[in-house]
Amino acid sequence: MYQNIGFRLNRVPRIWRAILDQRLAPLGLTQTRWITLYHLAHLGDGQPQCDLARAIGVEAPSLVRTLDQLAEQKLIERRPCEQDRRTKRIFLTAKAAPLLKQIDQVVDTARREILAGLDEDELAKFEELLSRIEKNVQKIQNKEDD
């Protein structure tokens, strides 16, 4: 009965991202670019490049090309870290603000549509269940890393 849960947990985010990709494409944003901007906006300016990569779920070298593209578009800038010159911190530019507002609007609209028909109690329970599953996954990962 529960054999398909893993597949469904994997499938829903892919479909969700595909919807967002389709809706954000007219803004000239690829998935990697809008996800990077979205995470940076929600994590806050000045994130070390490696922390941003970890939050997004990619390897730091993989993020470099996307950051290069965003810097070329003048949406972000890299600044050296005062404590560690090898580290670059990422900052949003003023040019990114209107684009981020559009991204947020698209994401909010899609979220409302995707979660339509679920009431507050159901969403709270769903959030709780996802948190518990995530903790279980982290325990397994930590155990296997040791």
- Phi/psi region, residue 44 (left: phi>0; alpha: psi -120 to 50; beta: rest), is left
Residue 15: pLDDT band by 50, 70, 90 thresholds? Answer: very high
* Euclidean distance between CA atoms 50 and 67, whole angstroms: 12
Question: According to the CATH classification, is domain 5-114 in 1.10.10.10?
Answer: yes
Mean pLDDT of the chain: 92
- Checking if the pLDDT of 1 tops 80, the result is no
pLDDT of residue 125: 97
pLDDT in tens, 38-74: 999 999 989 998 899 999 989 988 899 999 999 999 9
- Checking if the pLDDT of 37 tops 90, the result is yes
Contact 48, 78 (CB under 8 A): no
The stretches of the chain forming alpha helices (DSSP H) are 5-24, 31-43, 49-56, 60-72, 96-114, 120-145
